[in-house]
């Protein structure tokens, strides 16, 4: 596999901000604010990723037991029975449905989530924190404003950037390339052709990680008669066994049936659920390729970058290539080395390369 | 400690923060001082009342807190004419009540909500100070406690010539700034105030010429300002300043028409030149320059030795307390100081990057999109 990683340049004397050279410690932070996971890469070398869950104790008893006012990530999931649990980002953006109370609760959870991920980046108190946050390519204006609004409460200056663009920027794949960024809520497809991608260069579809979970849940409900399982259990199984290869070892799992652990073979269901996202992804690629300059379409097809947490499905790159061969006459797909941090690394590189005066103006 | 809320506080803080000249000259002078000693006590005083000492002290404190992000404590010691509480929309209770024993420091110290990091101790209820109040153990204890929690201590004091209590505070200052006001401060008063400072052995950082319009300077006789400047230049600075204080802080001059020059070096010789920004209304004009030292009297020498010994005692105490704090912090899980960034200063696209121009254009596009978002949000609110 080709080694595709983002790196940051060595430090050099500061760039002047207007007439004044800024010589203060600056922590650049790149954040991939995902529906399923939120990741951060920072210019102090810290990299962190956590499930995008925020939990608040349900009552005074829970609070006393947990000894915390808010829990995040894995800890929140583990203790979810004592918590009002929020996954504040739906389809990669802050959830805004279900009435004002729920909308406010999601905003609060999103604010706490961003605050926590910044805290995990370990900024020093005497440093300025400049952040670039990757947002879904086609997030609405309202959602972008909501993300900016909550982020401003945790950092000194913040910018939003299209997620697939930040992945491509981090790897210097800025010309004649297609990026597939598979998240939990959405899959972003983006065409890079030497300029800032416009709306017509980006497609967002909802065939992503959550869709696979839903499909698998339905299939298991049909095939594992009498078994009881939750969506969280299904998600955990997917993260462990997801695969689209034709040759795969049997996936044997245990579900309780009437309280008794019972073994099931879910190999076929897993393959079927995971493969469900391939046709719509290749269809989206076809749209972006077919509307590009015909002279350069073959170059686009042969520079397809697979990124995002969903890209960790085993064999997905070859499966997409196979589907492209059938539908588009061929293509080459490369998977990035660090799917979880690809977006955050790219956002960090954008933060680094952003001129100082721009950060100042957005404070 | 209580956080204050006040509808006009935001505008007052913004106004004070943007006071012309403060950022150009005053911070620079104080920050040089702070590079050698923390916490740093800076005392603002004037020859006579109405010079604008409180405004300039507040503006400096706000600026230091906002731009250096360090804890700053602003203390108003002019008990006769309290002003800061009114300017900043704070509770009136302050130093006056602490000194007469009717309140505790923690009750009177107030945070300025619009300026994180800044704590203000207002003067409190207006009254004349009781004799000995400013030299009593209680006052020293208040200042010592405030120094423990601050990076900068900014003291706003009563006019030197009107009241004696300001002179009693000079010993607590690591640097003194004398505020003069155009057309109000008389030459003779300015000279006398300067003499008092020099004789006290206080390290004078410079003078601030407030409300400078660039023409006449002193009240009563505008023609004499050149003579005053010359006179001050010929006047002798304290012969041996405490370690760490430059004899001349490389002063900058600003005046009403935007040009000026400065005299300054680190050892009292030579001179430098600098340009200052033109100011309206509140021009900062440093007319202080120090000349080569000459022998000082035995009394002055002894005074400085005593002052240094007090400082050593204070620093020793602070060191012990800092070590204790450090031990406590390391014991606490939430005392994580963080990890320093690779970058000290802003970066931008690397000059050697082959795609530098292209990447800068991309950055411009991202910035523009975010600027439009920000403006749209601002319009909506």
- CB of B346 within 8 Å of a chain A CB? The answer is yes
Inter-chain touch A350–B363, beta carbons under 8 Å? yes
Neighboring chain B residues of A195 at a CB cutoff of 8 Å:
362, 365
pLDDT at B305: 84
Of A230, A251, A275, the one marking the end of a domain is A275
Residues A150 and A262 in one domain: no
Nearest to B212 by CA among B289, B288, B279, B286: B279
How many DSSP H helices and E strands does chain B contain?
12, 8
pLDDT at A13: 55
Q: Is residue A28 domain-resident?
A: no
- For residue A165, what are the contacts with CB-CB under 8 A and spacing of at least 6? A137, A179, A190, A192, A196, A197, A346
> What ipTM, to 2 d.p.?
0.83
Residues A166 and A213 in one domain: no
Q: Is residue B102 domain-resident?
A: yes
pLDDT tens digits, one per residue of A278-319: 999 999 999 999 999 888 899 999 999 999 888 999 999 999
pTM of the model: 0.53
End-to-end Cα spacing for chain A: 41
Q: Is residue B337 domain-resident?
A: no
pLDDT at B5: 40
Residues A151 and A66 in one domain: yes
Residues A244 and A348 in one domain: no
Q: Is residue B212 domain-resident?
A: yes
pLDDT at A154 over 80: yes
Residues A82 and A139 in one domain: yes
> Can you tell me which residue has the tokens 């405490």?
B242
Neighboring chain A residues of B70 at a CB cutoff of 8 Å:
126
Confidence of residue A124 (pLDDT cuts 50, 70, 90): confident
- The domain tally of chain B equals 1
Stretch A248-254: mean pLDDT? 90
- CB of B340 within 8 Å of a chain A CB? The answer is yes
Inter-chain touch B370–A159, beta carbons under 8 Å? yes
Between B32 and A173, the more confident residue is A173
CA distance B349 to chain A (A): 4
Inter-chain touch B338–A361, beta carbons under 8 Å? no
> Can you tell me which residue has the tokens 């409180």?
B54
> Which range marks the domain in which residue B294 is found?
2-318
Residues A163 and A40 in one domain: yes
DSSP state of B378: H
pLDDT at A330: 92
Inter-chain touch A13–B345, beta carbons under 8 Å? yes
pLDDT at A89 over 90: no
CA distance B341 to chain A (A): 4
Residues A155 and A48 in one domain: yes
pLDDT at A221 over 90: yes
Residues A102 and A220 in one domain: no
Of A228, A245, A275, the one marking the end of a domain is A275
Q: Is residue B178 domain-resident?
A: yes
Of A275, A309, A327, the one marking the end of a domain is A275
Inter-chain touch A125–B347, beta carbons under 8 Å? no
Q: Are residues A310 and A187 in contact, defined by beta-carbon separation less than 8 angstroms?
A: yes
> Which range marks the domain in which residue A355 is found?
33-170+341-361
How many C-beta neighbours within 10 Å does residue B128 have?
10
pLDDT at B252: 30
Inter-chain touch B346–A125, beta carbons under 8 Å? no
Inter-chain touch A159–B363, beta carbons under 8 Å? no
- For residue A29, what are the contacts with CB-CB under 8 A and spacing of at least 6? A40, A41, A42, A43, A118, A121, A123, A129, A130, A131, A132, A155, A347, A348, A351
pLDDT at B66: 80
Count of CB pairs separated by less than 8 Å, A with B = 136
- Name the residue among B70, B348, B369 with its Cβ closest to that of A15: B348
Between B262 and A210, the more confident residue is A210
CA–CA distance from B47 to each of B26, B203, B352 (Å)? 18, 17, 56
Q: What does pLDDT average to in each consecutive run of 10 residues of chain B (381 residues)?
A: 48 67 69 72 88 87 83 91 85 88 87 86 87 79 86 90 81 86 81 84 81 54 37 37 32 32 34 35 38 60 82 80 65 64 73 79 89 85 70
Inter-chain touch A26–B346, beta carbons under 8 Å? yes
Q: Are residues A346 and A167 in contact, defined by beta-carbon separation less than 8 angstroms?
A: yes
- A213 vs A220: CA distance, rounded Å: 10
Confidence of residue A252 (pLDDT cuts 50, 70, 90): very high
Reading the block at residue B303, the tokens are: 């005074």
pLDDT at A158 over 70: yes
Residues A163 and A57 in one domain: yes
Reading the block at residue A22, the tokens are: 């800024």
Query: CA torsion A47→A53→A54→A59, rounded to 10°?
Result: -140
3-state SS track over B85-101: HHHHCCCCCCHHHHHCC
CA distance A169 to chain B (A): 9
**Helix, strand or coil for residue B44?**
strand
The CATH number given to whatever domain includes residue A149 is 3.30.420.40
pLDDT at A97: 65
- B242 vs A211: CA distance, rounded Å: 72
Q: Is residue B53 domain-resident?
A: yes
- CB of B378 within 8 Å of a chain A CB? The answer is no
pLDDT at B182: 77
Q: Is residue B265 domain-resident?
A: yes
Q: Is residue B118 domain-resident?
A: yes
Q: Is residue A38 domain-resident?
A: yes
pLDDT at A220: 94
Q: Are residues A301 and A258 in contact, defined by beta-carbon separation less than 8 angstroms?
A: no
The CATH number given to whatever domain includes residue B6 is 3.40.50.300
- The domain tally of chain A equals 2
pLDDT at B267: 34
pLDDT at A289: 94
Q: Is residue A162 domain-resident?
A: yes
- A223 vs A241: CA distance, rounded Å: 17
Q: Is residue B33 domain-resident?
A: yes
Stretch A208-234: mean pLDDT? 92
């Amino acid at each position: 596999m080709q080694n595709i990683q983002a790196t940051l340049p060595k430090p050099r004397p500061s760039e002047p901000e207007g007439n004044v050279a800024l010589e203060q410690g600056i922590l650049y932070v790149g954040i991939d604010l995902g529906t399923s996971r939120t990741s951060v890469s920072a210019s102090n070398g810290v990299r962190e990723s956590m499930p995008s869950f925020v939990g608040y104790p349900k009552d005074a008893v829970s609070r006393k037991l947990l000894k915390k006012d808010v829990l995040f990530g894995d800890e929140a999931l583990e203790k979810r029975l004592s918590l009002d649990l929020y996954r504040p980002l739906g389809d990669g953006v802050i959830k805004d449905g279900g009435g004002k109370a729920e909308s406010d609760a999601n905003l609060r959870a999103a604010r706490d989530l961003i605050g926590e991920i910044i805290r995990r980046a370990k900024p020093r108190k005497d440093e300025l924190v400049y952040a670039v946050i990757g947002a879904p390519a086609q997030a609405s204006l309202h959602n972008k404003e909501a993300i900016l609004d909550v982020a401003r409460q945790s950092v000194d200056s913040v910018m939003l950037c299209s997620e697939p663009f930040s992945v491509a920027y981090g790897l210097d794949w800025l010309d004649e390339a297609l990026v597939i960024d598979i998240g939990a809520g959405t899959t972003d497809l983006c065409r890079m052709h030497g300029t800032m991608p416009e709306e017509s260069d980006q497609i967002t579809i909802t065939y992503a990680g959550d869709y696979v979970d839903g499909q698998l849940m339905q299939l298991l409900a049909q095939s594992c008669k009498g078994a009881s399982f939750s969506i969280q259990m299904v998600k955990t199984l997917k993260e462990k066994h997801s695969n689209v290869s034709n040759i795969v070892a049997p996936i044997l799992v245990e579900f309780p049936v009437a309280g008794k652990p019972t073994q099931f073979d879910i190999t076929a269901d897993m393959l079927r659920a995971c493969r469900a996202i391939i046709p719509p992804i290749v269809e989206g690629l076809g749209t972006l390729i077919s509307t590009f300059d015909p002279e350069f379409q073959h170059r686009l097809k042969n520079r397809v970058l697979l990124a995002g947490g969903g890209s960790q499905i085993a064999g997905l790159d070859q499966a997409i290539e196979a589907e492209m061969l059938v539908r588009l006459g061929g293509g080459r797909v490369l998977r990035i080395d660090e799917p979880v941090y690809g977006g955050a690394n790219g956002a960090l590189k954008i933060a680094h390369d952003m001129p100082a005066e721009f950060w100042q103006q957005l404070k | 400690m209580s956080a204050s809320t006040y509808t006009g506080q935001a505008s007052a803080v913004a106004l004070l923060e943007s006071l012309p000249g403060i950022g150009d000259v005053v911070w620079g002078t104080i920050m040089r001082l702070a590079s050698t000693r923390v916490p740093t006590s800076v005392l603002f005083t004037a020859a006579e009342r109405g010079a604008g000492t409180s405004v300039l002290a507040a503006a400096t404190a706000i600026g230091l807190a906002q731009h250096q992000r360090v804890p700053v404590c602003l203390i108003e010691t002019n008990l006769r004419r309290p002003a800061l509480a009114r300017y900043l929309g704070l509770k009136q209770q302050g130093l006056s009540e602490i000194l007469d024993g009717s309140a505790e420091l923690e009750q009177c110290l107030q945070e300025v909500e619009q300026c994180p990091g800044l704590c203000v101790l207002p003067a409190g209820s207006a009254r004349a100070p009781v004799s000995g109040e400013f030299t009593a153990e209680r006052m020293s204890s208040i200042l010592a406690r405030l120094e423990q929690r601050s990076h900068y201590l900014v003291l706003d004091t009563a006019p030197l010539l009107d009241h004696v209590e300001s002179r009693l505070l000079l010993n607590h200052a690591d640097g003194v700034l004398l505020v003069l006001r155009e057309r109000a401060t008389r030459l003779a008063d300015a000279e006398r105030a300067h003499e008092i400072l020099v004789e006290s052995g206080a390290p004078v950082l410079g003078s601030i010429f407030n409300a400078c319009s660039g023409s006449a300077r002193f009240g009563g006789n505008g023609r004499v300002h050149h003579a005053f400047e010359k006179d001050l230049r010929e006047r002798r600075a304290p012969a041996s300043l405490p370690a760490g204080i430059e004899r001349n802080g490389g002063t900058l001059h600003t005046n009403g028409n935007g040009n000026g020059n400065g005299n300054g070096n680190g050892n009292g010789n030579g001179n430098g030149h600098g340009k200052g920004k033109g100011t309206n209304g509140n021009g900062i004009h440093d007319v202080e320059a120090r000349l080569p030292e000459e022998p000082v009297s035995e009394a002055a020498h002894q005074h400085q030795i005593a002052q240094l010994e007090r400082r050593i005692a204070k620093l020793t105490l602070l060191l012990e307390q800092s070590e204790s704090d450090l031990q406590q912090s390391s014991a606490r899980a939430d005392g994580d100081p963080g990890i320093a960034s690779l970058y000290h200063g802003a970066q931008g696209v690397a000059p050697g990057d082959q795609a530098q121009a292209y990447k800068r254009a991309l950055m411009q596009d991202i910035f523009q999109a975010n600027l439009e978002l920000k403006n749209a949000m601002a319009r909506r609110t």
